[in-house]
Structure 1
C-alpha cells in the first residue's frame, strides 16, 4: 500500500514511530502500546500509543495528540514546513520495509501447511525462544520471562495440562497463536504460523548439529585383537 496526504487519517501512529527507528517496548493491552519518547532521551519508556483512538500520551509532560501533533515534535529541517508530506513519506517507508520483510520470509522460511500446531507444546516453544528452563515451577504451572516484553520482571505462566498461558501482571492470555501475536504485533495468521515454524525449525537444526558434533568428538571404542 502507498499512502497519499488524503490517507493521513488512516495512518497509525506506530508506523511513524517504527519508520524513525522506535520499537515497541511493551503491549499494554490489545490496542495500547508503550514506547520510549521519540523526542526525548528518557531512561524509561513513558510514551503511550492508543492505536484504536489514534492518539498518543506523554506520561512525563501530560501532553497528548494525534499523528500530526507528534510529527511536529519529531520532524527536522525542511520537513517541518510540510508535516503532512513528512508523515506520508515515513508511512510509505514503513510499508516498503514490511513488504521487503514479507518477501524475505516467503523466500527463506519453511512452508507451514502440514504442521499440527495443536501438538506444539508451549514449553517446547519457549525452548525455541531461548528459554530452555522455566524461572520456577508450581505443579503443572511453569513460569517464564514474557517473550513479548523487555521488562525483565514481566512473566507468563504456562499450564502444561491445558497448553495455555497467561500474563502474571495483565489480562493477556491464550494459546501459542496469541502468544506470537503479542510478540510480533501482527494478527495475520499466516505470519504467525511462519514465525512459529521458523523458530521450531531453527531449534531442531541446532539440536541436530549438536548431535552431529557430539558424534564426531566421541572417542572410538578400542577394537579387540584377534586370538590365535
Structure 2
C-alpha cells in the first residue's frame, strides 16, 4: 500500500508517556497558520509504501513504550492510516496516540474502521492566537479523546495544566544536516532561535520557510 511519509524517529519523549516511536505523515490539507510542522504540508514528496515503513520500524517496536502518529495530517490518508494502525496492533502492545487537525465529528467514518486501534486521539486545528496551557496540545481548543482502557491508563495524567517539565523538545539530526525538533514548543520559540542563529552568521531555515518555498 502506498503512503506519504515525512519521517520516523525513535526515541521521542515529548509527545506522550515513555520512549515513543514517532511517525510523521507527509501532506496536510488543513495548513493551520503558525504550524511548527509546515514542512509536512506538501503532498508531492515522501512517497513510500506501508511495507517499507514496517521494515523500518519493526526493529524499534520492542523498545517503544508507545507510538505517536502525527504529520502532516494522518487522516488525509485514511486507508494508509488504518492499515498502519492494524499492523502496529499486530506487532506491539504499546499505546498508540494519533494527532489530527480535523474535528472529531468529521472523523467518524475512519474511526469506525479503526475501532480499538487508537488509544488516544488529539483533534481540532491548531489556533495560533488561542491559549496554550495544556500538555500535548498546541492550543487549548484541541481536544484529547481517550478511546480505550489503555488510553485512559496512559494519558489521563495529561488532563492538567502545563508544568515546567512539559516544556522540553526532542532534537533529531538527519544525514543531510537538517535538525528537527519534536514536541510542543512555546509560541515563537523557533522564530527566536532562527533569529538568534542568523544574527550569529548561521544560515537557518525553519519549517515555515520551507513551506513557503515548496
Q: TM-score range by the shorter chain?
A: under 0.3
> More helix per residue: 1 or 2?
1
Task: Kindly indicate whether structure 1 or structure 2 has the higher relative contact order, using CA contacts under 8 Å at least 6 residues apart.
Answer: 2
> More strand per residue: 1 or 2?
2
TM, length-normalised to structure 1 = 0.24
